Amino acid sequence: MRIIVPIKQVPETSNVKMDPVTGTMIREGVENVVNPLDLYAIETAIRLKEKYGGKIIVISMGPEKAVEAIKEAIAMGCDDGILLSDKKFAGSDTFATSYVLAKAIKQTGDFDLVICGERATDGDTGQVGPGIASFLDLPLSTFTSQILSVENGKITVKRLVEEGYEEIEMMLPAVLTVVKEISDPRLPTLRGKLKAKKMEIPIWDAQKIGAEGQKIGLKGSPTRVVKIFTPKVTREGEKVIVKDEKTLHQAIDKIIDYLIEKELI
């Protein structure tokens, strides 16, 4: 199987601190990591390769430092990497990003599967995976939670939907976006790290992938950010501290009164 895994480098947000005065994210000292949800896509690809053989190509669109994310994926067990980097890509929204990734995927030759994380933890749109499928005119399974079988040029998967799961069968090649439930990502091995370190990651620009200038970057993006502001979510309502039997009962009274007042009970 030939599998393409598009990944994104994102700021590590698990230890994000907020500036108490401005209410904005403190970016200094924030590390960049592989989008945590992409790790499930990488792991899924590696398991398929272990079962069926083949090759995994990781691609990432971003600045030059995004090469670190590609190397981490290679250290986990992916075979090749391609960095999509060009000043002309800057300012791409999800439409332009899907276009660039789809063009690059085509450029890599024939493939069986494109596996994406369900969304990135920074942009949080989940639109690029489906966008790639649409540009490539391929069948798509979003929120994929399990691969049931791959045979006779078809893949059968389970998708996590609101009230349960759906099973669908798609002809290959196909695009999957995967959720956390699908796998448990492995850690990079020492041997993998050494291999990744030595590896030269090619950089493809807009010309190399044959991207039309009017479909990439800010110019190629149908959406525009009008403004960015900090939400006023500091509701910080009343706090009741339970110290003894009496305050315990007071706290319970508060909850019950609140539920009654808001007609929640």
Partner 1 sequence: MKEVWTLAEFRHGKLNPISFELLNRGKNLAQKLNTSLASVVIGYNIKKEDIDELIKRGADKVYVVDDIRLENFMVETYAKVILKLLDEYNPDIFIAAATTIGRTLMPYIAVKKQTGLTADCTVLDIEEETENLLQTRPAIGGNILATIKTPNTKPQMATVRPHSTKPSPPDKTKKGEVIYKQFDNEAFNAKTKYIKFVKDESQQINIQDAKIIVAGGRGLGKAENFKLIEELADLLGGAVGASRDVVDRGWKTYPHQIGLSGKTVSPALYIAVGISGAIQHIAGMQTSENIIAINKDPEAQIFKISNLGIVGDLHEILPLLIERIKEYKKKGAN
Residues from 173 through 192 that contact partner 1 (CB under 8 A): 174, 179-181
Binding residues among 52-81 for partner 1 as defined by CB under 8 A: none
Residue where the block lists tokens 């989940």: 126
What CA–CA distance (Å, rounded) separates 105 from 129?
12
Cβ-contact 234, 115 below 8 angstroms: no
- In the bound complex, what is the minimum distance in angstroms from residue 71's beta carbon to partner 1? 23
Interface region with partner 1, contact rule CB under 8 A, candidates 55-63, 65-73, 201-209, 215-223: 215-223
Q: What does the alpha-carbon distance between residue 256 and residue 265 come to, in Å, rounded to a whole number?
A: 8
Q: How far apart are CA 182 and CA 158, in angstroms?
A: 9
SS3 call for 201: coil
Residue 194 in contact with partner 1, rule: CB under 8 A: no
Which of 2, 127, 193, 208 touches partner 1 (CB under 8 A)?
Answer: 127
Interface residue with partner 1, options 112, 130, 150, 193 (CB under 8 A): 130
Amino acid occupying residue 37:
L
CB of 202 to partner 1, least distance (A): 26
203 belongs to the binding site for partner 1 (CB under 8 A): no
Choices 43-51, 56-64, 70-78, 168-176 (CB under 8 A): range interacting with partner 1: 168-176
CB count within 10 Å of CB 243 equals 10
Candidate list 90, 194, 203, 259; residue touching partner 1; CB under 8 A: 259
- 18/203 with CB nearer partner 1: 18
Report the alpha-carbon distance of residue 85 to residue 104 in Å, rounded.
11
